[in-house]
Amino acid sequence: MLTERQLLILQVIIDDFIQTARPVGSRALSKKNSIPYSAATIRNEMADLEDMGYLEKTHLSSGRIPSEQGYRYYVDHMISPVTKFNQDMNVIKNFINDGFFEFEQLVQMSAEVLSELTNYTSIILGPELFETKLKQLQIITLSPNSAVAILVTNTGYVEHRSFSVPAEINPADLEKMVNILNDRLQGVPIVRLPEMFHSEITDLMKAYIHDFDKSYDYLKAAFLQEQPVKLYIGGKSNLLRQPEFNDVDKIRAFYTMIENENEMAHLLKGTSGGIKVTIGHENKADAIKDFSLITASYQLGGDQMGTIALLGPTRMEYRKVITLLDVLSNEMTDALYLWYKNTD
């Protein structure tokens, strides 16, 4: 268990290091008003904190920096609710309540605002279709040999895809099929669409449609092809301003990782509700063992919808980031609730 004094010293060291990115030494600490002990005393405490694993040295005679365990303790026990960031919180609230016009836009702007306020990189994983339901399917013929397929969910999500129609397929047939599908599939959860397509519908349609198999394959491809995950990343270049990024190799590693959308999406997925902080080696992905990731989710009526995250150096302004993420995810959840309430 840490003593009062150790707590104080640990906290001040971490706060200071987060600000300056430089190892903090006993003498500098002893000069602060908040710390009424001599350098020697502080040295003793620091040595103890190091033994306990909360601090580290960068080399034998350097000042101390927080270890990952130190950050962990800091995040778990030392982040009292702060009103210090009121101004930033208002920025978020205002921009959300400004009224948004489109869901994707809201998400994208959130990412930008967030990384601007924090100077870290923000990542937003778009809504999962998991719990949404089909509102409408539609096929629009553009020419004898091309068409565009549109799928709309009850949450207003629109997917579309244009494709060419081979000569042997009759566009009119396609439209007929889509009409039938529309009647029968409305309200079906998107995830169940593939099986419904297959099991329930085909019998009915076979009777009506000439050359059914080919047309069916076509529709299936048009509507059910898997969509890539939606990932918005804001402020990629922000991190370059952090002093830990003075090393070209680190930059390379960072950008190589961040451009791998699949890996990023994988990283964010599976974070359930609430705010979660992952520090350094706690991260599964090797590429961000030097980073901390803070995730929060925004929701629509209890079903998790998406994830907001901030990625920064382990030396991160945890307080600020946690506060802001909390506000943002609540505001988004509220906004989405208002937005979609009464949706079937």
Question: Which residues here bind a copy of itself, judged by CB under 8 A?
Answer: 99, 101-103, 135-136, 138, 140, 142-148, 150, 152, 154-156, 158, 160-164, 221, 225, 236-237, 240-241, 245-248, 251-252, 255-256, 259, 338-344
Site string for DNA, 143-162 (x = CB under 7 A): --------------------
180: left (phi over 0), alpha (psi -120 to 50) or beta: alpha
Q: Does 2 bind DNA (CB under 7 A)?
A: no
Q: Does 24 bind DNA (CB under 7 A)?
A: yes
Among 40, 142, 172, 251, binds DNA (CB under 7 A): 40
Q: Does 44 bind DNA (CB under 7 A)?
A: yes
Which residues, in sequence order, are bridge partners of residue 296?
308
Task: Kindly indicate which of the ranges 50-58, 119-127, 163-171, 318-326 contains the residues binding DNA, using the contact rule CB under 7 A.
Answer: 50-58
279 three-state secondary structure? strand
Q: Does 32 bind DNA (CB under 7 A)?
A: no
Nearest approach in angstroms of CB 190 to DNA is 54
Give long-range contacts, CB 8 A cutoff, 24+ apart: 68-71. 68/279, 68/280, 68/281, 68/282, 68/314, 70/10, 70/14, 71/14, 71/279, 71/280, 71/292, 71/314, 71/318
Q: Of these partners, a copy of itself, DNA, none, which one is at the site of residue 50 (CB under 5 to 8 Å by kind)?
A: DNA
Q: Of these partners, a copy of itself, DNA, none, which one is at the site of residue 95 (CB under 5 to 8 Å by kind)?
A: none
291 three-state secondary structure? strand
User: What is the DSSP annotation of 21-43?
Assistant: -S-B-HHHHHHSTT--S-HHHHH
Cβ atoms of 215 and 223 closer than 8 Å = no
Residue keyed to tokens 């500098």: 28
Per CB under 7 A, residues contacting DNA are 22-28, 36-41, 43-44, 46-47, 50, 57-64
